[in-house]
Amino acid sequence: MEEKNMAEVLEKAEVLIEALPYIQRFNRKIIVVKYGGSAMIDEELKKHVIQDVTLLKLVGFKPIIVHGGGKEISKWVEKSGMEPVFINGLRKTDEATMEIAEMVLNRVGKSLVTLVEELGVKAISISGKDGGLLKVQKKYSQGKDIGYVGEITEVDPKILYDLLEKDFLPIVCPIGLDEQFDTYNINADDAACAIAKAVQAEKLAFLTDIEGVYKDPQDKNSLISELTVNEAKELLASGNIGGGMLPKLNSCIDAIMNGVSRVHILDGRIAHCLLLEIFTNKGIGTAILGEKETKFYHE
């Protein structure tokens, strides 16, 4: 082998060896990945996310994907001659819209199954109806009835444990049943968070369309790599956090307070952001961690 070639090849080995402590650390731990945003639309990014999650599975982690339906739902609502309506950022979900949402979300799940199985790993897509996974109640938006939008009241993780035990990669779409067994749509971030808490996940990773959390949203140089749950609370109290980040940061804090060790807000627009976050010492995005966790990424 030529010398140049050899050097290049050696570098590869070192990347693999660099991953060793992370593989060892997270072996057989559950990682819930909220999959959405650009990473779900761009075909190339999509492929990368699936490769990342499949690799995690193969090296001994136990990933669970929770996905939304992205722009597909609106597309089909329109195709059916209706018009999407949003109230305070939440989709008004009448019966016809719910029907479409359920069809679209389940099909998205199956398309992810296809991609995983192309890589030789067994997957299964379910909704929160299967095995009674997600129980919900109607969610009101500032007092207004916005239809079949649910908030989770109970998670029964048995089906997830069963599927993980049988070595499947579970892919979950955020639909649940209420006590009358009516079908409800659920915010995918909320579903990912509730599931991560129910299975006491080691990690919860949100694939988003932002770079991470900024100390000062005006200053692009103020991206925070790591912050403890207490620092996150202070940040919230500072009033500097706004827009879509506010509920997300609240979710992160909620997850940490309820047994999840580490939550990651990743920039899903970066290829292999998930892998890089977990396997290298260059963090991508922002990590929120429990008080007892030690900062060890991103130095």
Q: How far is the CB of 258 from a second copy (least distance, A)?
A: 25
- The 174-213 contact track toward a second copy, x by CB under 8 A, reads -x-x---x-x------------------------------
Distances in whole angstroms, Cα of residue 94 to Cα of each of 82, 83, 235, 245? 11, 11, 37, 27
Residues 114-153 that bind a second copy (CB under 8 A): 114, 117-127, 129-132
Q: Could you give the 3-state DSSP secondary structure of residue 204?
A: strand
Distance from C-alpha of 24 to C-alpha of 18, rounded to nearest angstrom? 11
User: How many CA atoms within 13 Å lie on the side-chain side of 39?
Assistant: 27
Please select the residue that binds a second copy; options are 29, 38, 41, 107, rule is CB under 8 A: 107
Residues 255-284 binding a second copy (CB under 8 A) are 270-272, 275-276, 279-280, 282, 284
60 labeled part of a ligand binding site: no
> 86-87 and 90-91 as β-strands: parallel, antiparallel, unpaired?
antiparallel
Nearer to a second copy, 132 or 259 (CB): 132
Tell me how far apart the alpha carbons of residues 211 and 223 are, in angstroms, rounded to a whole number. 8
Taking a C-beta distance cutoff of 8 angstroms, is the pair 139, 126 a contact?
Answer: no
Residue 111 and residue 140 in contact, taking contact as beta carbons nearer than 8 Å: no
User: C-alpha angle with apex 36: 91 to 222, nearest 5 degrees?
Assistant: 105
Integer CA distances (angstroms), 294 to 90, 229, 259, in order: 37, 12, 16
Quick one: tokens of 259? 């047994």
Binding a second copy by CB under 8 A: which of 110, 144, 209, 244? 110
Instruction: Work out how close the CB of 186 gets to a second copy at its nearest, in angstroms, rounded to a whole number.
Output: 14
- The binder of a second copy chosen from 30, 32, 104, 249 (CB under 8 A): 104
**Could you say whether residue 106 binds a second copy (CB under 8 A)?**
yes
- Is 259 annotated in a binding site? The answer is no
| 265 strand-pairing partners | 206, 286
Q: Is 88 exposed, middle or buried (0-12, 13-18, 19+ CB in 10 A)?
A: exposed
Closer CB to a second copy, 71 or 158, in the complex: 158
Which C-beta is closer to a second copy: that of 107 or that of 233?
Answer: 107
CB of 232 to a second copy, least distance (A): 22
- State yes or no: 5 annotated in a binding site: no
Near a second copy by CB under 8 A: residue from 33, 34, 35, 54: 54
The Cβ of residue 212 has, within 10 Å, a number of other Cβ atoms equal to: 18
Q: Is 59 in the site for a second copy (CB under 8 A)?
A: yes
To a second copy, the closest distance from the beta carbon of 7 in angstroms equals 11
Q: Does 41 bind a second copy (CB under 8 A)?
A: no
187 labelled ligand-binding = no
In the complex, the smallest distance separating the C-beta of residue 275 from a second copy, rounded to whole angstroms, is 5
In sequence order, what are the beta bridge partners of 134?
155
- Give the nearer residue to a second copy in terms of CB position, either 87 or 119: 119
Binding mask 4-23 for a second copy (x = CB under 8 A): -xx--xxxxxxxxxxxxx-x
Annotated binding site for substrate: 69-70, 91, 185
Annotated binding site: 69-70, 91, 185
